Structure 1
Amino acid sequence: MIKFLFKGIIRDKSRSILPIVVISLGVSLTIVLSGFLSGAMTDMIDQNARFETGHVKIMSRAYAENKDQLPNDLALLGVDSLVTYLRSNYPDLQWVERIRFGGLLDAPDAEGESKGQGPAAGIAINLLDAASGEIERMNIKKAIVSGELPKNSNEALIGDEFAKKLKLTIGDEVTYFGTTMNGSMTFQNLTISGTIRFGISAMDKGAILLDISSARQMLDMQNGAGEILGFFDNGVYNDKAALALENSFNNQYESNPDEYAPRMFTLRSQNNLGDLLDYANSMSAIFVVIFVGAMSVVLWNTGLIGGLRRYQEFGIRLALGESKGRIYRSLMLEATLIGIIGSMIGTGIGLSGAFYLQNYGINIAGMVDNASMMMPTVMRAKVSPNLYFIGFIPGVFAMVFGNMLSGIGIYKRETATLFKELEV
């Protein structure tokens, strides 16, 4: 039966070309859009995790309440013992210390006069210890536009756009003006070892990276850190594991009234990323439902048109004694075959588009030029295993559903009228 129906689909192109084209377009759009939005959401979440939130983050309670102000006077102290405890009790994560700070960066000319100044958003990480994994985690080597990684504690990396604004070159010396953890003024001369471009507008325009040992000396934060970030060993955020870890850690300090006591936050609970995670998880289902509904309507009408054209064929088959149920089932089987063929073609086209967007992406730098949120300037698709089969759900289901609706007309045929039609 399947072979017979397949031959009919191939030979009678008038009843298969239009449905296959509709299904192919719908399936390819489902795959491309699902892959692109999934990739964009994943990139945004990954960017936030690597540069700001971690998979989990530990801050003091007071610091967490005012974290947008970078209140290093409320930072954690005694972090060496805390990190040792974390690595011992939660070995499935990599724990790193970071300090965020803000201030003014002054670039002197050859005569020592200021040739340019600008507000700097500083991030202090472990740059001199390769074992920390921070260089790889933040893709610093790939982000370097000119120069090299710092080799000494008084060297720093600066955003490429920031360097151009201040007319800085490799080896130039700049002066940082800011406040220490204790509220006093601090001045620190730093040598520019390289310029970086992360593709994040907010960072490229004013970021400065230096080793955490230098920042601690500059900010009077010995054995202190604003944040302790944890990353799962496989590099992938696990929401359930992170929530369990958060509850386990915070329960130990629940009865401690000290506002400087550490508190853990998951990625979900930071920067409104919870809604983004929920949306990313339901995205594929949303597209499947949308395209199933849209294609079902189109294919329903296509089935009705095809049914009218095959009105006489069904009548002859009924007159010859074939049951209505058998004709209806053969119509459903035929619809399934057409749905599979269209889904295979659409999947091939959709995957080609998704691979292209994964490799080249779409540059949205102009749209986020003035944005302060953490998001990449090149949005890329993500080709995941589910894209290889997700298109078959709307492709096959919509075709079968559309023909189920249009095929109901078979049961409305009256045998008494068939012979009159055949006599004409």
Structure 2
Amino acid sequence: MIRFLIKGLLRDRSRSLFPLITVTIGVALVTLGDSWVDGALVDIIDNNARLETGHVKVVTRAYKEQLSSAPNDLALLGTKDLINDLEKEFTNMEWAPRIRFGGLLDVGGEENVTIRQVRGSGLAVDLSEGSKEIERLDLNKILVQGHLPQASDEILLSPGLMENLQVEVGDEVTLISSSMYGSMVIHNFTVSGKIRFGIVALDRNMMIAPLEGIRYALNMEDAAGAILGYFKDPDEYDKNLTASMKEYFNKTYHNPKDEFSPYMLTLRDQNFLNDILLLYENAMGIFIFIFVLVMFIVLWNAGLMNGIRRYGEMGLRLAIGESAHHIYLTSIAEAVFIGLGGSVTGTLIGLGFAWYLQNYGVDVTGMLDSNSLYMSNVIRARISGSTFYIGFIPGVLATALGAIVSGRGIYKRKTAQLFKELEV
């Protein structure tokens, strides 16, 4: 019977060609959409984890309440001992102290008179030999000019800052900021290199400095704004695991009566990432629902038209003793075969486009000019396990639903009427 149905579909293209094309296009778009959404999702998680949130982050409770302003006067103290405790408690994690800082960058002219000032935001990280921060932040990759800081008073600037300050590698700039205790600090740095993150929000006014240099400049000895935790195996990241780590740490180390006691946050607790990631995670379900609905309506109408054209065939099959129920089931089976064929073809086409976008991406810099989200300028697709089968859900489901609804008309046809149609 299966061979008979497949032969019928192959020999009568009017029954299969249009539904097959519809399913192929829909499945290709769903497959491409899944890889595109997955790529954007991984990009957002990776960039935010590397640059801002970590997989988990330890701060003081007072710092947490003002997290967006990065208040260094509420920073963690005694970070060496705290990191030692964290390494003993969570052996699958790596821990990195960091300081977020901001202020004015000043360029002096003759007689040290200010000629240009630009507001900038900075990140102080451990750049000592053997530190994994260099690899984690891809500093060797994003360095486009000069060299990484080799002394505590050297600094890396983004293209936006260097352009606005009109400085080059080797020039001196002055950081005007405030210390951990609220006093004004003025510290000179030498520009050792230019870095381009490929993220609009960072390339405008970002600077990276050695942790020890900023600690000295801001009077933050053995202090840090936050201690970021990363899984040793990045693929090990799991939101449920980080949530359980947070619960354990805060129950063990956090003192609700002390606003300066350490408090752990997960990646999703920061930068509205929970809402953003939920939106992206649900986007694929919405995407599939829309395509199932659209293809269902199209294939339903195609099934109705096909049923009208095949009244004679149905009459003959009823006349020779085939039951209406069997005819109905075979029409659904035909739709499933069309859905499978279109799903295979559509998945292959979608994978082809996804492979191209995974390797070359699409530059969306112009769309991110006013965006503060840590999203790369070049968005790439990501082919994952779900990419190979996600298109079969709408492909088979829509064709089956279309056949189920349109085929119900078979039961309404009277055998006597079908005999009259056969005579004509």
Q: Is TM (by shorter chain) over 0.5?
A: yes
User: Which residue type is aligned with residue 402 of structure 1?
Assistant: G
The amino acid of 1:62's aligned partner reads: A
Partners of 2:54 and 2:132 lie apart in 1 by 13
In 2, Cα distance between equivalents of 1:423 and 1:9? 25
| CA displacement at 1:47 relative to structure 2 | 1.3
What SS is found at the alignment partner of 1:58? strand
**Which position in structure 1 is the counterpart of 2:169?**
170
Match of 2:29 in 1: 29
d(CA) in 1 for partners of 2:77, 2:49: 23
Q: Which residue of 2 aligns with 1:396?
A: 396
The equivalent residue for 2:335 is 335
Shift of 1:181: 1.0
- Mapped partners of 1:26, 1:317: distance in 2: 33
The letter for the 2-side match of 1:232 is F
Equivalent in the alignment of 1:64? 64
* Runs of 4+ deviating beyond 6 Å: none
In the alignment, structure 1 residue 217 sits paired with structure 2 residue 191: no
Residue in structure 2 matched with residue 160 of structure 1 by the alignment: 159
| Residue 139 of structure 1: how far off its partner (Å) | 1.6
8 Å contact kept, 1:41–1:276 = no
The amino acid across from 2:260 in the alignment is: Y
Q: For structure 1, which runs of at least 5 residues remain unmatched after alignment?
A: none
Asked whether the 8 Å contact 1:202–1:372 carries over to 2, the reply is yes
- Report the counterpart of residue 354 of structure 2 in structure 1: 354
Counterpart of 2:262 in structure 1 is 262
**Contact map agreement 1:336 1:400 (CA 8 A) in 2:** yes
Structure 1 residue 147 corresponds to structure 2 residue 146: yes
The answer for the alignment partner of 2:120 in structure 1 is: 120
For the Cα contact (< 8 Å) 1:128–1:150, is it kept in 2? no
* 1:179 CA displacement: 1.4
Higher deviation after alignment, 210-219 or 356-365: 356-365
- 1:163 alignment partner AA: M
Write the distance in 1 (CA, Å) between the matches of 2:139 and 2:101. 19
Higher mean C-alpha displacement, 179-188 vs 278-287: 278-287
Q: Does 1:135 align with 2:130?
A: no
Cα distance in 2, alignment partners of residues 173 and 160 from structure 1 = 16
Instruction: Give the structure 1 partner of residue 181 of structure 2.
Output: 182
Q: Deviations over 1:155-174 (max 9, x none)?
A: 11110221122121111111
Give RMSD over aligned pairs.
1.6
For 2:159, give the aligned amino acid: D
Aligned to 1:317: 317
Displacement of 1:26 in angstroms is: 0.8
Q: 2:286 is matched with which residue?
A: 286
Q: Which amino acid letter does the alignment assign opposite residue 94 of structure 2?
A: Q
Give the AA of the match of 1:420: K
| Structure 2 runs not aligned, ≥5 long | none
Distance 1:110 1:7 in 2: 88
Separation in 2 of the partners of 1:317 and 1:225?
Answer: 81
Corresponding residue number in structure 2 for 1:44: 44
Moved more, 93-102 or 283-292: 283-292
Question: Hey, what's the Cα distance between the residues in 1 that align with 2:230 and 2:197?
Answer: 20
**What code does the residue aligned with 2:168 have?**
T
How do residues 72-91 of structure 1 correspond to structure 2 at under 5 angstroms? 72-91=72-91
CA distance in 1, matches of 2:6, 2:149: 67
Q: CA deviation at 1:109?
A: 4.2
Is the Cα contact below 8 Å between 1:177 and 1:188 reproduced in 2? yes
Distance in 2 (alpha carbons) for counterparts of 1:156 and 1:254: 35
Point out the more displaced range, 104-113 or 248-257. 104-113
Distance 1:370 1:290, change over 3 A: closer
Deviation at 1:17, TM superposition (A): 0.8
Indicate conservation of the 8 Å contact 1:34/1:283, yes or no. no
Most deviating of 23-32 and 240-249: 23-32
CA shift, 1:254, in A, is: 4.6
C-alpha distance in 2, partners of 1:263/1:227? 10
Distance 1:292 1:234 in 2: 37
- State the TM-score, normalizing by the size of structure 2: 0.96
Alignment-derived partner of residue 369 in structure 2? 369
3-state SS of 1:150 partner: coil
Superposed CA offset, 1:279-332 (max 9, x none): 233332222222111111110000011111111011111111112222222212
Distance in structure 2 (CA, Å) of the matches to 1:110 and 1:34: 58
Separation of aligned partners in 2, 1:114 and 1:333? 80
